[in-house]
A and B are shown apart, each in its own frame.
Chain A
C-alpha cells in the first residue's frame, strides 16, 4: 500500500546508498570540510525519508525499530557527553584527545586529527539521523485523516 511506482523504487534503491555514503562522508570529515554532525546526519536522514516515501509505510514499519532508534539517539547524546567529559580534570569540554590523546592528535588537516571533534561529529550525526527518522516515522504513523 501507498508506495511509489517501479521507476521511483528502482531509483531509490540506487540512490539511498549514495546518499548514505555522502552523508557519512560529511559527518566523518566534519573537522576538515564544510558540514559536520548536523548536516551529515540530516543528509543520511534524507536517505531514510526517501526509503519511507519510495517503499511505503508498511515496508518502513518492518525495517525501523522504535526502541533501537530511540536507544541509538540516547547513545549519540551519551557519546557526545562522554567526549566532553574526557578532559574534566582540566575543564569540561577540554580537548584532552588533541593535547595528549592516543590516536586523534595527528597532523592538522589529516583525518585523525582535531581530538574529540570527529567523535562528537559522529555522535551528533547519529543523534540527528535517528532523531529525524524517528520523528518522521512517528508523523507518518500518526492517525489517518478521518477515522
Chain B
C-alpha cells in the first residue's frame, strides 16, 4: 500500500467539495482549504520518505502492473524518483504555507470559494506533473496547472493590470502548451506509445528526426513555462498582478514544476537515447546565460517591488538552467554531477526564499497599499518583523554563507567555473546584479520613514506564521548545506542520470 495516489486524491477531493463546503457560511472554506492542503503536505512527506527508503516508486492506474497481456506498458503509470520526491515535498510545503497565508491576506476579496478551489487545483496540477511517468498524463497535468494559474493571475479582475497580465499569460501560455501537445502527438505517431520509460526504449532502438522535432517543440514550450529569457515577459507581468500568495506559488513552484522539472524529466527520461547531449546542453546553457543576465539586470532597475522579485525569479531560473545544461553536457563526470545537484538544490532553495520574499511583499501591500519602492522608505521602523523576514530572504537569495542560498549557488559556481570559466564569470556577473537589486531594496527599508509608512504595523499571525516557518527553513537548511547536498541532492542528480534505472523500474513492473 503506497501513499502516492492520495497525493492526487486529496487535493482533488478538496477542490471538488469546495463549492459544497462553501455553502456553509463563515470561515468554512478557508478552514477546509487549510485542512486539505495540510493533509496533502503530510502525504507529501510520506511519499518523500517512501521514495527515500525504497527507491523509485512505480504506481499503475487501473491494475496491479502496467502490462496487462502485452509485453509493453499499456496503462498510465506514475513514477516518482528521488528528484520527483524532492519536488513533491517542496510543492506540498509551499502550497500549504500559501493557503495558510491567504486566509488573512485575501479576506477583503470576494469569490473566495473559487480562489481556494483554484489554489488546490494548482497544487494538484504541479503534483501530477512531478509524479507522472506518462507523457500525455504529463500534458494534462501541465494544462491543469497552467489554466489554474491563468485564472489565479487574473483573479482580482477589477484591476486593469490583473486582466492584462492574465490575457498575456493565457495567450502565450496556451501557445506554449500547444507546442508540447504537438510534440506529444509527433512522438505518439512515430513510436506508438505514451509511457515515458518505454518511449526511451523505442527511441534507443530507432532514433528519428521526428524525435528531434518533438524535442525542439518540448524545449520551446517548457522554456516558456519556466520563464527563460527571450520568453520571460509574461512572468514579469503575471507575478506582480497576481495576489501575493499566488505569486509565491507561481514563482516558487509553477516555473519549476512545469518548466525546469519537466525539462529535466523529458530530456533525461525520454529523449536521452536519441539526443546529442552536447548540442542540447549548450542550447540550454545559452538560454541560461541570457536569462541570468537579463533577469538580474532588469531586477536592478525596477521600482515596483513585486516586479523586482519577478525579474529576480527569471534570473534565478537562469542559474537552475545553467546547472541543468552543464549536467547534460558533462554527463557522467563529477562536474556534471555537481552542476545537476546544484540545480536541484537551487530549485528547492529558490522555492523557499522566493516564496518568503513574495509573502513579505504581500504583507507590505496589504498594510500600506503600494508596491512602489520609492514610497516604502523606512519600513523597518514600523514593520520590523516583516522587514527582518525580507532581510533573511534577500541575504539568502544573493547567497550569503550562513543561509541556504549559499550552498546551492556555490555548487553551480564551482561546476560552471570548472566546466568553462566564461560561464562561471557570467554567473558571477548575474549575482552582482542580483545583489545590487536587493541591497537597493534593503537600503530603502532601513532608510528614514516616510509619512505613508508611519501608520503601518506588522500583519496578523496567519500572515506572519508562514513567513516565520520559511525564515526558519532558510536558516536551518543553511546550517547543514553540505549534509543536505550529499544526502539528498547528489543522489537525486544521480537518479536523474540513471536512465536505465528509470526504464528498468517501469519494465520490471515494480
Q: Is A75 an interface residue (CB 8 A)?
A: yes
B12-27: which have CB < 8 Å to A?
12-13, 15-20, 23
Chain B contacts of A70 at CB under 8 A?
19, 113
Q: Which of A3-11, A90-98, A103-111 contacts B (4 or more CB under 8 A)?
A: A90-98
Least distance between A127 CB and chain B CB atoms (Å): 9
Are A91 and B59 within 8 A (Cβ)? yes
Are A71 and B5 within 8 A (Cβ)? no
Q: Is B70 an interface residue (CB 8 A)?
A: no
Are B23 and A81 within 8 A (Cβ)? no
Are A74 and B19 within 8 A (Cβ)? yes
Are A94 and B62 within 8 A (Cβ)? yes
CA distance A77 to B19 in the complex (A): 11
Are B62 and A91 within 8 A (Cβ)? yes
Are B62 and A95 within 8 A (Cβ)? yes
Chain B contacts of A75 at CB under 8 A?
20
Q: Within the complex, which residue of B12, B15, B64, B113 is in contact with A90, where a contact is CB–CB below 8 Å?
A: B64
Are B16 and A78 within 8 A (Cβ)? yes
CA distance A75 to B62 in the complex (A): 23
Chain B contacts of A95 at CB under 8 A?
62
B85-131: which have CB < 8 Å to A?
113
Q: Is B209 an interface residue (CB 8 A)?
A: no
Closest to A66 in B: B19
Q: Is B61 an interface residue (CB 8 A)?
A: yes
Least distance between B57 CB and chain A CB atoms (Å): 13
Least distance between A75 CB and chain B CB atoms (Å): 7
Are B61 and A74 within 8 A (Cβ)? no
Are B13 and A71 within 8 A (Cβ)? no
Closest to B1 in A: A89
Are A94 and B23 within 8 A (Cβ)? no
Least distance between B67 CB and chain A CB atoms (Å): 13
CA distance A81 to B11 in the complex (A): 11
State how many residues of chain B have any CB contact under 8 Å with chain A. 19
Chain B contacts of A73 at CB under 8 A?
19
CA distance A71 to B17 in the complex (A): 8
B48-90: which have CB < 8 Å to A?
59-64
Q: Is B301 an interface residue (CB 8 A)?
A: no
CA distance A88 to B113 in the complex (A): 29
Q: Is B432 an interface residue (CB 8 A)?
A: no
Please indicate which of the listed interface residues A73, A74, A78, A95 has the most CB atoms of chain B within 10 Å of its own CB: A74
Are A78 and B17 within 8 A (Cβ)? yes
**CB-CB under 8 A for A93 and B20, given A78-B13, A81-B9, A85-B9:** no
Least distance between B177 CB and chain A CB atoms (Å): 19
Closest to A76 in B: B16
Q: Is A67 an interface residue (CB 8 A)?
A: yes
Q: Within the complex, which residue of B17, B60, B62, B63 is in contact with A74, where a contact is CB–CB below 8 Å?
A: B17
Are B23 and A91 within 8 A (Cβ)? no
Least distance between A128 CB and chain B CB atoms (Å): 14
Give the dominant DSSP class at A's interface: helix
Chain B contacts of A91 at CB under 8 A?
5, 59-64
**CB-CB under 8 A for A81 and B64, given A75-B20, A91-B59, A92-B5:** no
**CB-CB under 8 A for A93 and B16, given A67-B23, A81-B9, A85-B9:** no
What 1/0 mask marks residues of chain A from 47 to 84 whose CB sits below 8 Å from any chain B CB?
Answer: 00000000000000000000100110111011001000
Closest to A85 in B: B9
Chain A contacts of B63 at CB under 8 A?
90-91, 94
Chain A contacts of B64 at CB under 8 A?
90-91
Are A74 and B16 within 8 A (Cβ)? yes
**CB-CB under 8 A for A71 and B23, given A91-B59, A91-B60, A92-B5:** yes
What 1/0 mask marks residues of chain A from 21 to 41 whose CB sits below 8 Å from any chain B CB?
Answer: 000000000000000000000
CA distance A82 to B51 in the complex (A): 27
Closest to B13 in A: A81
**CB-CB under 8 A for A74 and B59, given A67-B23, A90-B64, A92-B9:** no
Chain A contacts of B15 at CB under 8 A?
77
Chain A contacts of B9 at CB under 8 A?
81, 85, 92
Please indicate which of the listed interface residues A73, A91, A95 has the most CB atoms of chain B within 10 Å of its own CB: A91
Please indicate which of the listed interface residues A70, A81, A92, A93 has the most CB atoms of chain B within 10 Å of its own CB: A92
Least distance between B40 CB and chain A CB atoms (Å): 15
Chain A contacts of B13 at CB under 8 A?
78, 81
Are B16 and A88 within 8 A (Cβ)? no
CA distance A73 to B5 in the complex (A): 23
Chain A contacts of B61 at CB under 8 A?
91-93
Are B16 and A81 within 8 A (Cβ)? yes
**CB-CB under 8 A for A71 and B19, given A85-B9, A90-B64, A92-B5:** yes
Chain B contacts of A74 at CB under 8 A?
16-20
Chain A contacts of B5 at CB under 8 A?
88, 91-92
CA distance A105 to B12 in the complex (A): 27
Identify 20 residue pairs between A and B in the complex whose beta-carbon atoms are under 8 Å apart, listed by A's number.
A70-B19, A73-B19, A74-B17, A74-B18, A74-B20, A77-B12, A77-B15, A78-B13, A78-B20, A81-B9, A91-B59, A91-B63, A92-B8, A92-B9, A92-B61, A92-B62, A93-B62, A94-B62, A94-B63, A95-B62
8 smallest CB-CB distances across A and B, nearest first, come from A77-B16, A74-B19, A92-B5, A70-B19, A93-B62, A93-B61, A78-B16, A74-B20
- A sample of 14 more A-B contacts (CB under 8 A), given A70-B113, A77-B12, is A74-B17, A74-B19, A74-B20, A78-B13, A78-B20, A81-B12, A81-B16, A90-B64, A91-B5, A91-B59, A91-B62, A92-B8, A92-B59, A94-B62
Give the A-binding residues of B (Cβ under 8 A): 5, 8-9, 12-13, 15-20, 23, 59-64, 113
